[in-house]
Amino acid sequence: MRVGLVAGESSGDLLGAGLITAVRERLPDAVFEGVAGPEMLAAGCERWADAEELAVMGVVEPLKHLPRLLRLRRMLITRWREAPPDVFVGIDAPDFNLGLEAALKASGIRTVHYVSPSIWAWRAGRIRKIRKAADRVICILPFEPAIYGEQGMDAVFVGHPKADALSPDIDVPAVRRKLALPAEGRIIAMLPGSRSSEVTRLAPVFAATAATIAAREQDVHFVTPVAAPKLRPLIEASLRQHAVAGRFTVIDGRSVEAMSASDFVLLASGTAALESALLGKPTVAAYRVAALTALITKLFRLVKVKHFTLPNLLTGEALIPEFIQGDAEPARIAAAVIDLLDDPARCAAIRERFAKLRSELAMNSNERAADALISLTAQG
């Protein structure tokens, strides 16, 4: 079997690698090619372009990258039309992949979209585009297949890979020693994002938040994992500006280890929010987008959900205090963190609900995704 793949960013790269490994366990001679990151490359995918080329987000921000992305898409369409794979899998990155999938499907190539776009949250009309693009949607959230089923579309829930990969059974002292963190006292992991735009907007806010917390809580130490080397100067400048650098340990990468070593987590909303919940950590989330993106989102009422973090959406409870745009203000965020620091009973209840969430999502997702892919190619 020959499989075309396009993954967006590091999260898609991990999903792709897990899928490749699971398919190869069943079909050792399977061949994989396309847009891949280092994990997919290590799993045996032939890389035509790097997954980080798709690491753009927002309503307005991707426009400046459009010519480059269109060139990449045209190249992929040409190559796969000339030598069609048995199936193409677009992993996340819907703004790029759905158009690619539609073109390939129109050429007679079976297509799968892995990770449903958040049609339940915003831009619900995209389901029409997905119908045109994908023969099957592989979903990682339990309520998504029903949405597609209402439209007569083929969708399969496979569980969430993070729930399979992350264990709440953490030897916290050992992880703290590994990261050279204080053995005593409470530790807060502070994650201001993985993109330059996120860190530029949130690092100063989070540093000011840390200063407020540090002034009140003398036993608190902070750890910040830096997602990419280019982000370290931005983060460290904010820590110096707010005179809290001495209370921080800044490490390269290892965000899961940083959260594992911590008692509490403050983060930019995104995949990290679900990781933190699956690790059983009481969490506070904040986010800011570009002002124009926020204005367009508000004017056209693009967001349809009450919560913006996945754990809150999946549980239907406000377990993670959320602060977005103007509400993402240091004093308010610090107050929410301090409330958690001062309420052990509430934290225990949050950990218990997060443990239940993990059990609901841990389903051997890589193997189930491989089954969904292989069974589609086996259809006449």
pTM for this predicted structure: 0.81
Q: For residue 29, which amino acid is it? A: D
Q: How many helices (H) and strands (E) does the chain have?
A: 17, 13
- CATH for the stretch 172-361: 3.40.50.2000
What does the pLDDT read at residue 244? Answer: 97
Reported as type and span, the H/E element at residue 188 is strand 186-191
State how far the Cα of 44 lies from the Cα of 31, in Å rounded to an integer: 8
Residues forming CATH 3.40.50.2000 domain(s) in the chain: 2-159+363-378, 172-361
SS (H, E, C) 82-95: HCCCCEEEEECCHH
Residue labelled with tokens 């754990």 = 311
Dist CA 143 CA 198 (whole Å): 29
The rounded mean pLDDT for the chain is 90
pLDDT at site 270: 78
- Report the distance separating Cα 132 and Cα 128, nearest Å: 6
Residue 284 — φ and ψ, nearest 5°? -125, 140
Residue 192's closest CA among 117, 282, 258? 258
Task: Identify any residues that bridge with 46 across adjacent strands, giving them in sequence order.
Answer: 33
The model's pLDDT over 335-359, given as tens digits with 9 standing for 90+, comes to 999 999 999 999 999 999 999 999 9
Amino acid at 174: A
- Give the strand pairing for 110-114 and 322-324: unpaired
Per-residue b or e along 99-128, where b marks 16 or more CB atoms closer than 10 Å to that residue's CB: bbbbbbbeeebbbbbbbbbbbbebbeebbe
CB contact at 8 A, 236 and 245: yes
Scan for tokens 């059983």, then name that residue: 280
Q: Alpha-carbon dihedral of residues 265, 356, 287, 100, nearest 10 degrees?
A: 130
Q: Going from the first residue of the chain to its last (380 residues), give the mean pLDDT of each consecutive group of 10, the final group possibly shorter.
A: 92 94 97 97 96 64 73 96 98 94 98 90 82 97 94 96 88 96 96 90 96 96 95 96 97 96 92 94 84 48 63 93 87 97 96 95 96 90
**Which class does domain 2-159+363-378 fall in?**
alpha beta
The structure tokens 């776009």 sit at: 117
